Chains A and B, each alone.
Chain A
Amino acid sequence: MEVVNIIPLFVVLPLAGAFLITLAGKYLKRAPDILTNLTTFALLAASIFSVRIAWQHGVLVYNVGAWQIPYGIAMVLDGLSSFMLVTVNLVAFCISVFSIDYMKKFTSKWKFGSLFLLMLAGMNGVIITGDLFNLFVFLEIASVASYALVAFGTEKEELEAAFKYAVMSTVGSLFILMGIVFLYSYTSTLNMADMASVLIQKGGGNITLLVSVLFIMGFGLKAALVPFHAWLPDAHPSAPAPISAMLSGVLIKSLGVYAICRIFFNVIGVTPETLSILMFLGALSMVIGVYLAIGQWDFKRLLAYHSISQIGYVFLGIGLGTPLGIFAGLFHLFNHSVFKSLLFLDSGAVEYSTGTRQLKEMGGLSSRMPVTGATSLVASMSIAGVPPFNGFWSKLLIIVACVQAGRYGYAFWAVLASVMTLASFTKVLKYAFYDRLKEAMSQVKEVPVFMKLSMSALAVVCVLAGLLLIGGWNDALLDRARDVLLEGTKYAVIVFKGIDLG
């Protein structure tokens, strides 16, 4: 088997899994769990393997249906894609293990399994594709599956949140489609590499300005940057906990951050103006998100506001445009995926055992639920940026990058937001886990084994992710991803060279 044939597997496997689950899930009780976990495990293995391939070969291009670029749809695997694939599939695997036990209380588990895999197929597709319209199609697959998953509980709150999310997100998609139409009419091609080379030859002009605005609005809505964030604090807490973890952990990153990076850096080409807009929106989200989070008493809602704030950090880092800034932004993206999904799983575990999400009703839970307590301590310390954990390293790097670039104001805001994050998570830990044990909570039991297993696995990743900064590891994963963004619109040349190799 040629090594290039691994690329379509990232879309084919979850699609096949979703299909098989709908077929078998109604009749066989264990089938949804087994199929979901097998698929996500296979995807995780394949994504780790893809890092190795991307390291050996540089760029690999798979032509769907053997149509050559620029006529057919191409799938491109490079450093950035393989980095994102590892992030998405690692989190997805842990979440699918978690949901074995968690989803027992819901009826029709097979619908959950197949929607989950569809969403995963959409996300992997967005990451792996090299074609702009195809990116839109995968983006919509992931989005539609996520609307349905937010409404999965079909209670008042979930339905309302899902409707709000679906309406806003659809409007965002329309802006993205509009941008794609303008780019197509200007360049007469849809392949990203081809488009980049046409744009270099013809020069951008006003059309790229218009398209940039449309894309920032559209993808900014998907990534929940601050002026477009209103749907996130409703939608993310309303979903079942594994889906909250999936949405906050990886969906807003693969659909929002990754798409913005790929299109602005590699296709349109960044200008100092777009970078400063991204940086400004990032800093705004960072501060406003954490400011709104501090006053929240609903555990999951508080976490959702922190997602907005942490996405701000990622955009601030990437918007700096310096090698260190982009490196730090991508590293923070990985770290945030891990610790935010862990926090949402913890909140799910607490809800599973106690039946409440209100911090004021909890108290002293860590004596009754030692694993949940310990893993939330790790995750909270990570997100707040306390030294040995992963969040500290990436935030430190972002702040250092700001100072290096001479952006002292942004560095100040980043430090301030970090202090406020620490304050708000001290509140969570105090009220939920370390206060006096309340009377009502004295009968609480620890969660079942699979939930403990997946939470512990994510906590271990939180502790060890700092190791990614050491020589060999960062060469393979983060440096490669950063180089893809730094090479900018030379991407076109590199992709066309990748075809000759394949």
Chain B
Amino acid sequence: MTPYLLCLTLFAIGLYCVLRKRNLIKMIVGIIIAEYAVNLFFIMVAYRVQGRSPIYSPEARITNMVDALPQALVLTSIVIGLATTALLAAIAMRIYEKYKTFDITKIRELRG
């Protein structure tokens, strides 16, 4: 149970970062943390205690394998996260060029 709670804490830290931090880069880091928490959770769901890797071989009896599918899915999800992060960082850089600051309280062209 404890690993799941720690994972939830990690997610909460990420969300807190996104919601409360004023620096654009720290917000991006918050998103990365929250993303990793979800990915970690996905891997933990598939984990079995004392499980072996899911590779088929003729002689070995297949018992107690870990679930391989989530690992493949998490790889996809990490790649998606990479694309999002890269785009966010690029936008943050352009914002810095325009405003000379990363502080969101000073970047206020739009309302609501």
Contact = CB atoms under 8 A, between A and B. Distances in A.
Interface of A is mostly: helix
Interface residues of A, number: 34
A166 B110 CA distance: 15
Interface in A382-401: none
Contacts of B99: 156
Interface string A157-176: 10111111011001100100
Contact of B38 (A157, A160, A178, A190): A178
Interface in B65-94: 67, 69-70, 73, 76-77, 80, 83-84, 87-88, 91-92, 94
Contacts of B87: 144, 147-148, 166
Given A166-B84, A174-B38, A181 B98 contact: no
Interface in B36-60: 38, 41-42, 45
Contacts of B18: 167, 171
Given A148-B87, A166-B91, A174-B34, A133 B73 contact: yes
Contacts of B38: 174, 177-178, 181
Contact of A159 (B31, B67, B84, B95): B95
A276 to B, nearest CB: 28
Contacts, number: 83
A27 B31 CA distance: 38
B36 to A, nearest CB: 10
A140 interface: yes
Contacts of B27: 167
Contacts of A178: 38, 41
Nearest to A185: B45
Contacts of B92: 163
B3 interface: no
B95 A160 contact: yes
A160 B110 CA distance: 8
B110 A157 contact: yes
A229 to B, nearest CB: 10
Nearest 9 pairs between A and B by C-beta? Answer: A185-B45, A140-B80, A234-B110, A181-B42, A159-B95, A157-B109, A156-B98, A163-B91, A159-B94
Given A144-B87, A174-B35, 6 more contacts: A147-B91, A148-B87, A167-B88, A170-B88, A230-B112, A234-B112
Interface of A: 133, 136-137, 140, 144, 147-148, 151, 154-157, 159-164, 166-167, 170-171, 174, 177-178, 181, 184-185, 188, 190, 230, 233-234, 238
Interface of B: 15, 18, 24, 27, 31, 34-35, 38, 41-42, 45, 67, 69-70, 73, 76-77, 80, 83-84, 87-88, 91-92, 94-95, 98-99, 107, 109-110, 112
19 contacts: A137-B80, A140-B83, A144-B80, A151-B94, A156-B95, A157-B110, A160-B95, A163-B88, A166-B84, A166-B88, A167-B18, A171-B15, A171-B31, A174-B35, A177-B38, A184-B70, A190-B69, A233-B112, A238-B110
